[in-house]
Amino acid sequence: MGKRHCLFIDFEFTMPERNVRMKEFYPEIIEVGIVSVIDDQIVDQFSSYVTPLKFPTLSERCKSFLHISQDQVNKGITFFELIRKMEEFNQGYEMTIVTWGNMDMKVLRHNCLAAGIPFPFHAAELDLSMEYKRFFGDQNQTGLWKAVQEYGKEGTGRHHRALDDALTTYNIFKLVEKDKRYLEKPKPTTIGDRVDFSKLLNEFA
């Protein structure tokens, strides 16, 4: 049986000013949080700011919403360093990338395409928000921190910090997996399981 390797990933992205059309704008990764889990044990964590390639100047809306400063992003790793770091997580195990929502992988793919470099992962991808929606039969997709609060828990650290959100995603993943196991139907018992025939025979002996 191979090891089970899950990579919980969260990104924060650039965003344009509200009601301002920026020509050719697309969201770029400016913060990354990665939690590497092998066989239900956290084995590695990584967090960093990332300097955008195409639009390096953050909008006021982006700085205000994410509480990320221009200086923090300027001192971050390059996008190419981010991809090299991600490639280090390909450890030869069968891997699943777990994110809350599908935007993280969409933006990563688009950023790789724009930078002319290959996508760093060959792995299954799990959108935990859709899994959560299907499992609980919700009509709408639930936000990450609302989901964890619905479990009667609190998120880790601060919302919209990439590593904190990746850790919160991992915590919800554990809770959903536990609930799934709980709801799995037990195998029907046979008559031999229900009746101890040795005791029964002794009574009639």
Q: Which residues are catalytic?
A: 12, 160
Rounded distance between C-alpha atoms, residue 100 and residue 20, angstroms:
28
Burial readout 11-35 (b: 16 or more C-beta within 10 A, e: otherwise): bbbbbeeeeeeeeeebbbbbbbbbb
Q: What is the DSSP string of 43-101?
A: EEEEEEEEE-SS--SPPHHHHHHHT--HHHHHTSEEHHHHHHHHHHT--SS-EEEEESS
Q: What is the DSSP string of 121-185?
A: --SEEEEHHHHHHHHHT-SSPPPHHHHHHHTT---SS-TT-HHHHHHHHHHHHHHHHHHHHHHSP
